[in-house]
Amino acid sequence: MNIPLPLFVAVPLFAAFVLPIFGKKGKSAATFLANVVTLGLVAMAVSTLGRTAVYQIGRWPIPFGINLVLDGLSSLVLVAVTVVSAAAMLFSVRYMEQYTAKSKFLCLFMLMVAGMNGVVLSGDMFNLFVFIEIASLSSYALVAFGCEAEELEASFKYMVLGQIASLFILFAVAITYAQTGYLNMAYISQSVAASGMSKGLYFAVALFIVGFGLKAALVPFHAWLPDAHPSAPAPISAMLSGVLIKTLGVYALARVLFNVFGIFTLSDLHIEISWIIIGLAILSMITGAFLAFGQTDIKRLMAYSSVSQVGYIVLGLGLGGLIISKGLNPAWALLALLGGLFHLVNHSVYKSLLFLSSGSIQMSTGTRDMTQMGGLANKLPVTGTTATIASAAIAGVPPFSGFWSKLIIVIAAVQAHYYWIGAVVVFVSLCTLIMYLKLQKNVFLGELPENLKDITEQKGTMKISLIVLAVLCVVMGLLLLVPALKEGVLEPAAQSLASGAEYAVNVIQMAR
């Protein structure tokens, strides 16, 4: 079973350095090539679903060399990353014509994709840090891409907090190396399982939670996100909110806590750590939702709702950890993890759809202020429909994807007798509904302002990417409802987290 794992990093990295060569004259050729690359990555990622592999770079055996690991969780997140990046790239074919230096945009975009794919596949702690830095650095530059005053300010804020987060992560990696003598995730995991958690490792776990929490914008650490995400160009906002905060923050946190330290499956119980995770999650859900109410800028409202939705994902994972560490029924833990991961995939689809719709609105009307809009549903039929579908999905209206993942988290919470967690989930879902009804009312319904009488909808590839994502929003529920898809896609991902330290055994066996 040979899967060329390094290609997931190498192809976009190669494209990143080839595309700027085309320069101004070959702009359309470069754009076409970039789309071919992102679509090709989607095909490759889909082909990895349900498979597992370990690749040792340069044939250096682990733990001496660096390895790339593909398991259920990696391939799920990989598919999400590649699908969102393909849609965003398709959208930016036309959208980025507003800016100069499109080839530089393509280069940075590809670097970001390479970094995120690397984060998802990496099986080595220091290599994880390097890929996190690649993705973060290119995202700092992309946030500042317009070079307007607000964009630069947002980028500076994002960069300072992002750099602090990276240094916390690097410090934690160094402490882990000092305590266990390994950088390879599988070997660290075995070493921790053999000798237990020392005080230094607890310190490293705290640093990891803060570092990845900053990257994921959980609430005490969320200050940069509502500035950075709206300031970026729309396809980049879609990438940042859709996948960047999840791969760099949530995925890496889950991988480190569940698999590397195996915290929740260790013999001595670590209930406190899972309560910290759940506390952060609930705080983000509620604070993000309340802060979103007061916003009049469409993209800022969506950015705050991202804070709230990331809370859902982390809540699902934390609940799973809590159930495992309490030694309750493992099926409930699997359900909670599955809910969290399903919400991760759903959120990456509908949040990127919302941001792309906001980009389409902004390009047509020239503003992001909701108070200056109204009655756009007739003027922008496609954008109106897709934004309505995405709003319904994020609020958890039944046939759409968001409903199913929230339902699973609630079921898991109720089964584990944490009724109040279920109540919080439902309450925040209601807040989300209100916030998106406000958006619908102000933007698409009501009176059309005088100055927007003549606007027209954007054509071509922008429409295609909106429609593709909207269709995904509608059919994603099938991932849960069709047993074959559920067993093939979602369950291996939840299983790879729930099995905790078995990750190490699998990786070392496959590497032989």
Partner 1 sequence: MIYALCFLLFMIGLYCTVVKKNMVKIVLGILVMEYAVNLFLILLGFRTKGVAPIIDRHALEGGQLTELFVNTSVDPLPQALVLTAIVISLGSLALIISVCIRIYNKYGTFDITQIRRLKG
- Give the separation between CA 9 and CA 265, rounded to whole angstroms: 32
> Comparing C-alpha atoms, which of 70, 65, 267 is closest to residue 182?
65
Q: Which residues of 156-170 are buried (b: 16+ CB within 10 A; e: fewer)?
A: bbbbebbeebbebbb
> What are the distances in angstroms from CA 104 to CA 12, 235, 240, 352, 448?
14, 15, 18, 22, 37
By CB under 8 A, is residue 222 in contact with partner 1? no
Name which position in 36, 160, 271, 434 contacts partner 1 (CB under 8 A): 160
- Give the separation between CA 458 and CA 461, rounded to whole angstroms: 9
Name which position in 20, 27, 99, 153 contacts partner 1 (CB under 8 A): 153
By CB under 8 A, is residue 294 in contact with partner 1? yes
Name which position in 177, 202, 275, 418 contacts partner 1 (CB under 8 A): 177
Stretch that binds partner 1, among 125-133, 254-262, 332-340, 361-369 (CB under 8 A): 125-133
The residue among 207 and 282 lying less far from partner 1, judged by its C-beta, is 207
Q: Please report how close the Cβ of residue 247 comes to partner 1 at its closest, in angstroms.
A: 18
Query: Please, which of residues 227-256 interact with partner 1 by CB under 8 A?
Result: 227, 231
> Comparing C-alpha atoms, which of 299, 234, 302 is closest to residue 87?
234
Name which position in 21, 36, 43, 178 contacts partner 1 (CB under 8 A): 178
By CB under 8 A, is residue 457 in contact with partner 1? no
The residue among 161 and 462 lying less far from partner 1, judged by its C-beta, is 161
Stretch that binds partner 1, among 30-38, 54-62, 153-161, 477-485 (CB under 8 A): 153-161
By CB under 8 A, is residue 159 in contact with partner 1? yes
By CB under 8 A, is residue 99 in contact with partner 1? no
Task: Label residue 197 left, alpha or beta by phi (over 0 means left) and psi (-120 to 50 means alpha).
Answer: beta
Measured distance between the N- and C-terminal CA atoms of the chain, rounded to whole angstroms? 14
Q: Please report how close the Cβ of residue 31 comes to partner 1 at its closest, in angstroms.
A: 25
Strand ranges, E, within 57-188? 67-70
Beta carbons within 8 Å of 313's beta carbon, 6+ residues apart:
246, 250, 281, 340, 341, 343, 344, 347
DSSP string, 301-356: HHHHHHHHHHHHHHHHHHHHHHHHHHT--HHHHHHHHHHHHHHHHHHHHHHHHHHH
The residue among 69 and 183 lying less far from partner 1, judged by its C-beta, is 183
By CB under 8 A, is residue 295 in contact with partner 1? yes
Over 380-445, what HEC string results? CHHHHHHHHHHHHHHHCCCCCHHHHHHHHHHHHHHHCCCHHHHHHHHHHHHHHHHHHHHHHHHHCC
Map tokens 């009655």 to a residue. Answer: 375
Stretch that binds partner 1, among 84-92, 173-181, 306-314, 438-446 (CB under 8 A): 173-181
Contact 258, 314 (CB under 8 A): no
By CB under 8 A, is residue 293 in contact with partner 1? no
- Give the separation between CA 69 and CA 75, rounded to whole angstroms: 10
Name which position in 29, 43, 147, 430 contacts partner 1 (CB under 8 A): 147
Q: Please report how close the Cβ of residue 206 comes to partner 1 at its closest, in angstroms.
A: 13
The residue among 14 and 203 lying less far from partner 1, judged by its C-beta, is 203
By CB under 8 A, is residue 291 in contact with partner 1? yes
Stretch that binds partner 1, among 133-141, 345-353, 399-407, 462-470 (CB under 8 A): 133-141
By CB under 8 A, is residue 226 in contact with partner 1? yes
Give me the residues that bind partner 1 (CB under 8 A), please.
126, 130, 133, 137, 140-141, 144, 147-150, 152-157, 159-160, 163-164, 166-167, 170-171, 174, 177-178, 183, 226-227, 231, 291, 294-295, 297, 300
